[in-house]
Amino acid sequence: MAEIQDINALADRIPDGAHLALPPEYSFVPMQLVRCLIRRQARELRILCVPLGGLAVDMLIGAGCVAEIEAAAVSLGENGLAPRFTDAVLSHRVSMKDSTCPALHTALQAAEKGVPFMPLGGIIGSDIAANRPDWRIVDDPMGQGNGRILLIPAIRPDFAILHSPLADRNGNVWIGRRRELVTMAHAAKQTLVTVESFTDTDLLADEKTAAGTLPALYVTALAEAVGGARPLALTGCYERDDGAIAAYAQVARTDAGFADYLARTVGAHAPEAAE
C-alpha cells in the first residue's frame, strides 16, 4: 500500500541528481511539491517533460535546481517563452536534449513494456534526429515503407510526480482522461502524488471512477496539498490563474525579478541571492 505522508517528507524522497518526469501544464502539475523542492534547494535534477514543460520547469531552472532537461518544448504558452529556461539554455547553465512529443511518449512506453527501445517513424531526416546520438536509424527488419526506421531508447525516470484532485486511503489515484499519467507511472521507478483530498471510498471498486483511476500498485507515496496545482488549473477543481502566470512571465525576464518572485511566492532565494 502507498504511504501517506506530509508533503515535505514527500519532497525529501527526491534526492539531488534524480531523474524526474513532470506532466504538461494542462495535466495535473504538482506545483506545491515543486515549490517544496525549490525551498529545499534541490540540485542537479534531470527533468523529463512529458512532453512539454511550462511554469514548474521554468521555476525549477531559475531556482538552480536543474542540470539537464529533455522536452519537446518549454514555454508559457500565450505568455511567450519560458524566461528562466531560455536564459539558462542560452548561457549553457543547463543541458538541453531536444525531443518530440511522439518520441518522448514512445520512450516511456518502451520502459512501461520492459523493452530496451521502440521503433518510431516520422522524425528521420530532421535536425532533431541528427542531434540525438542516442537514437538509432536502422534498416526496417520488416521491409515496410522506405526501409528505414528510428529506434528510441527506453526512458525509465527515477520519479514521476503529479497532483490529483482525489485519492483513496489505499493509494489509488484518480487521473480521469489523462492517460499520459498512466504511462509516466508505469515507466518510473517511483511515483509520488499530491492530492486535493482523500476519500474513504475505494476508487477502483466504484464503476464511476475505476476507469479513470491509477492503481496504488504504481504509487509509492502520497501527500495532501490543497490547491496543490495553483496557479495552474486542475480538472474539476479550479481554473488557471491567467493573471498570475502573465505576471510571472513579465517579472521572470530578469534575475532580480525572478529572485523577488521566489521570495514572495515560494519563500526561497534564487542562487545568486543565496550566495
pLDDT in tens, 49-103: 999 999 999 999 999 999 999 999 999 999 999 999 999 999 999 999 999 999 9
Nearest alpha carbon to residue 194 among 229, 168, 152, 163? 163
Residue 146 pLDDT: 65
Q: Are residues 145 and 164 in the same domain?
A: no
Q: E strands within 82-172?
A: 95-98, 117-120, 136-139, 148-153, 159-168
Same-domain status, 238 and 259 = yes
Domain contains 107: no
Q: Are residues 147 and 166 in the same domain?
A: no
Q: How far is CA 14 from CA 10, 70, 208, in A?
A: 8, 18, 33
Note whether 184 and 236 are same-domain residues: yes
Cross-strand bridge partners of residue 168: 199
Residue finishing a domain among 153, 173, 198: 153
The CATH number of residue 257's host domain is: 3.40.1080.10
Tell me: do 178 and 124 sit in the same domain.
no
Domains of the chain: total:
2
Tens of pLDDT along the chain (275 residues) come to: 799 999 999 999 999 999 999 999 988 999 999 999 999 999 999 999 999 999 999 999 999 999 999 999 999 999 999 999 999 999 999 999 999 999 999 999 999 999 999 999 889 889 999 999 999 999 988 876 668 899 999 999 999 999 999 999 999 999 999 999 999 999 999 999 999 999 999 999 999 999 999 999 999 999 999 999 999 999 999 999 999 999 999 999 999 999 999 999 999 787 864 33
Residue 259 belongs to what domain range? 3-99+156-274
Same domain, 75 and 198: yes
CA distance 258 to 8: 23
Backbone angles phi, psi at 183, to 5 degrees: -60, -45
Same domain, 67 and 139: no
Q: Judge if 140 and 62 occupy the same domain.
A: no
